[in-house]
Amino acid sequence: MMRVEVFLYSFSLLELIYQSHGVTITSTVRNVEVKEFEPATLTCIYHVERDANPRVEWKKIKGADVRFVYFDGSLTEAYGARAEMRGSNIRLHEVTRADMATYRCEVVAKEDRVVFAEIDVKLSVLVPPAVPTCKIPSSAMSGSRVMLTCKESEGSPPSDYTWFKDNKVLLERPTKDSTFTNTSYTVNQKTGVLTFNPVRKTNSGAYHCEAKNKAGGPKKCSVQFMQIKSRSSKGKDTEQKTVSPVNEDFKHTKSFVI
């Protein structure tokens, strides 16, 4: 039994030594983050066993779209004027949001015992948010379900959103705010949707939203006033209705029975 264990250990050790001889790759930074229009360096540091002329290639991978960046000893046409090779590293002079992708460095050393190695480097381009578009009903009936939306599509990474009423922050968890009398609202900081279910007269006020991310901000939309009106005592509709902010000139429709 001891001989079998010694044999297996020796075999594993020899296999490890064998696999450690050949082409290997490392990168100083596997996740690169830079602001838009600034330079970025994607590193690919390789070591070979004995091949004096290994083949180095870079590919850009974005979903199912795979394209060469560096191939057959030169940058491809799309990158020739806006990038340079520094050894086996690529330096992009001015990145744009279109450059966000995973970049793969591949090295082939045919004379080595391990002939192939690759490494992925993710490039994230930071873009500040734009001024968000806010859709806020100008009026709604008390007891209905009301949604306010806030959205911008320029920021990278995607923006987080904060809603304000009369310049006071509406918390994502309103139950923790002892100064706010109506806790029947929810705020989704990722989607920018503020929902009152139900809305009350005390929710009347001036609303606006701010968008920000790690690249910059906050950027805010213009302040808009929302008036919540009481239902008439005659012909009350017990069913809750949803008020969506279709446009800024919101008016009562047949959705409400007065």
> Do residue 59 and residue 139 come from a single domain?
no
> Do residue 104 and residue 143 come from a single domain?
no
> Do residue 75 and residue 162 come from a single domain?
no
Which one-letter amino acid corresponds to residue 93? H
Work out the pLDDT band at 57, boundaries 50, 70, 90: very high
- The overall average pLDDT reported for the chain is 85
Question: Is-cis flag, bond preceding 198, omega within 30?
Answer: yes
Which residues have a Cβ under 8 Å from the Cβ of 247 and sit 6 or more positions away? 135
Residue 140: DSSP 8-state: E
Report the pLDDT value the prediction gives residue 173, as an integer from 0 to 100.
73
Residues 110 and 54: their CA atoms lie apart, in Å, by 7
Whether the per-residue pLDDT at 236 is higher than 70: the answer is no
Give the tens place of pLDDT for each residue, 192-221: 999 999 999 999 999 999 999 999 989 999
Which one-letter amino acid corresponds to residue 153? S
> Does residue 6 belong to any structural domain of this protein?
no
Using the 3D structure, point to which of 109, 126, 143 is the last residue of a domain.
Answer: 126
Give the CATH number for residue 35. Answer: 2.60.40.10
Helix (H, G, I), strand (E, B) or coil at 198: coil
Work out the pLDDT band at 174, boundaries 50, 70, 90: confident
Strand 224-229 with 139-141, pairing: parallel
Asked if 90 and 69 count as a contact pair (C-beta separation under 8 A), the reply is: yes
Using the 3D structure, point to which of 64, 94, 126 is the last residue of a domain.
Answer: 126
Asked if 49 and 18 count as a contact pair (C-beta separation under 8 A), the reply is: no
> Do residue 74 and residue 30 come from a single domain?
yes
Whether the per-residue pLDDT at 7 is higher than 60: the answer is no
Residues 103 and 99: their CA atoms lie apart, in Å, by 10
The range of the structural domain enclosing residue 229 comes to 133-243
If you average pLDDT over residues 218-230, what whole number do you get?
97
> Do residue 100 and residue 188 come from a single domain?
no
CA distance between the termini of the chain: 90
> Do residue 92 and residue 156 come from a single domain?
no
Residues 12 and 99: their CA atoms lie apart, in Å, by 43
> Does residue 5 belong to any structural domain of this protein?
no
Residues 162 and 144: their CA atoms lie apart, in Å, by 23
Give the tens place of pLDDT for each residue, 107-141: 999 999 999 999 999 999 999 999 999 999 999 99
Report the pLDDT value the prediction gives residue 20, as an integer from 0 to 100.
55
Whether the per-residue pLDDT at 241 is higher than 80: the answer is no
Using the 3D structure, point to which of 68, 94, 126 is the last residue of a domain.
Answer: 126
Residue 202: DSSP 8-state: G
Residues 139 and 8: their CA atoms lie apart, in Å, by 78
